[in-house]
Amino acid sequence: MKALLQKYESKEPEIVFHWQDQETNAEGWTVINSLRGGAAGGGTRMRVGLDKNEVLSLAKTMEVKFTVSGPAIGGAKSGINFDPNDPRKQGVLERWYKAVSPLLKSYYGTGGDLNVDEIHEVIPITEASGVWHPQEGVFNGHFQPSDADKINRIGQLRHGVIKVIESDAFSPDLGRKYTVADMITGFGVAEAVKHFYNIHKDSVTNKRVVVQGFGNVGAAAAFYFAQMGAKVVGIIDAAGGLINDEGFSFDEIINLYKNKKGNTLVAENMMSFSEINTKIWDLEMDVFAPCAASRLITKDQVDRMLANGLEVVTCGANVPFADKEIFFGPIMEYTDSKLCLIPDFISNCGMARVFAYFMERKVEMTDEAIFNDTSNIIKKAIENIVEKNNTKRNISETAFEIALKQLI
């Protein structure tokens, strides 16, 4: 596997687009790792300090993810080095998407990512730049439908991603009108754990769960874990955290979800970040769900969690371990050798899968059909791993080997 990984990592990307804003100090890149299948896909993110290497690593990650979620296309990513809280953000995004629109019309599909909102920013700004939909390039480059079919599928995709959830089985509060895009990634993070335990004749019920990050992904994962009967015993994010050794009730998790402010946990009696960061790694736990920023988890934190019973890590964040390598650095490899580590390209593939689902012809638009499709894709990926490796160790290594053999 390592030889395959080295070959994949070292291969130069097919296209690198570099942009320098003429009105601010914003700088951006689109990296297209390959035009596998005639197109490539990956979201647009914005943060201070972002560089080309970060975008490149995420593009390669997307290509691996597409081996699970579909469609069979190349991986890409866009990133802008700019403060997302700057009031000039809207203008930066407008100029960025105007510059990148020829790619979006031809062979590149994008969406929301860190600090860039799919519904309120990506879709309206790209449309104003003359692009039918941010995924138009994937339709044109990969699917190559007739104009009539493309119009129908883009309409299906547009409505599906922003679809308001109508079933309380998938929403913390129907009155808040949460969408598929709000919930699907966190759903997959929890479903991956459920499927892993079920395949190994165990159950997620009463498993003790710690969640890192309480944005859309972490908060949704906590909701679905609690719904399954797992016990969420700890939550940590940049603002602080909470511990409940008996596990938060389902109603308490729902209230935490509804009360979060943007991507930040808000609750009475929250511990400071320094206090929660001292305590949470020593909690008794079975499952850890890193759903915050990339490259945060240290080997010391892994060892402390292992000492307290950790069995499964399900990655909501891309590349959650504090390794410098694009994939499978020493901390990730160490963790994979000690427990069940479900890699990001399986556990957090929900949004990518939803895009792939709605790009097909005339799919069912019910909540049950959409969420069950993502669940089944994740279940199949884990079953494929277990066919080759029926232990509870080196899961990520096996998953990478399966994926890379499709790409090299």
Q: What is the pLDDT of residue 114?
A: 84
With residue 388 as reference, give the H or E element that holds it: helix 367-388
Higher pLDDT, 331 or 1: 331
Mean pLDDT of the chain: 96
pLDDT at 158: 86
Residue 75: strand pairing partners: 41
Closest by CA to 371, choosing from 389, 351, 391, is: 351
Compute and round to an integer the Cα radius of gyration of the chain: 20
Question: Distance (Å, rounded) from C-alpha 268 to C-alpha 103?
Answer: 47
Span 11-29, mean pLDDT? 98
Say what the pLDDT of residue 189 is.
Answer: 98
Residues 6+ apart with CB under 8 A from 395: 336, 340, 341, 342, 343, 385, 389
When pLDDT is averaged across residues 227-254 and rounded to a whole number, the result is 98
**How does pLDDT run across 104-130, given as a tens digit for each residue?**
999 999 998 889 998 899 999 999 999
Q: What pairs with residue 271 in β-bridges?
A: 241
Q: Tell me what pLDDT residue 119 has.
A: 83
What number of other Cβ atoms are within 10 A of residue 393's Cβ?
A: 14
Distances (CA, A) of 301 to 12, 322, 392, 402: 34, 11, 20, 29
Tokens read off for 163 = 């679809």
**Domains annotated on the chain, with CATH:** 13-144 (3.40.50.10860), 174-407 (3.40.50.720)
Pairing verdict, β 15-20 and 27-32: antiparallel
> Strand 340-342 and strand 208-212: pairing?
unpaired
What integer pLDDT is reported at residue 332 of this predicted model?
A: 98
Between vectors from CA 60 to CA 383 and to CA 98, what angle results, nearest 5°?
Answer: 125
Angle, CA of 393, 385 and 402, to the nearest 5°: 110
Residues 338, 208: contact at Cβ < 8 Å?
no
Q: Are 340 and 308 in contact (CB under 8 A)?
A: no
Instruction: Categorize the per-residue pLDDT at 397 as very low, low, confident or very high, splitting at 50, 70 and 90.
Output: very high
Closest CA to 59 of 11, 128, 26, 19: 11
Separation in Å, CA 336 to CA 157, 223, 389:
36, 26, 13
The torsion angles phi and psi of 47, rounded to 5 degrees, stand at: -165, 155
Model pLDDT for residues 171-223, shown as the tens digit of each residue: 999 999 999 999 999 999 999 999 999 999 999 999 999 999 999 999 999 99
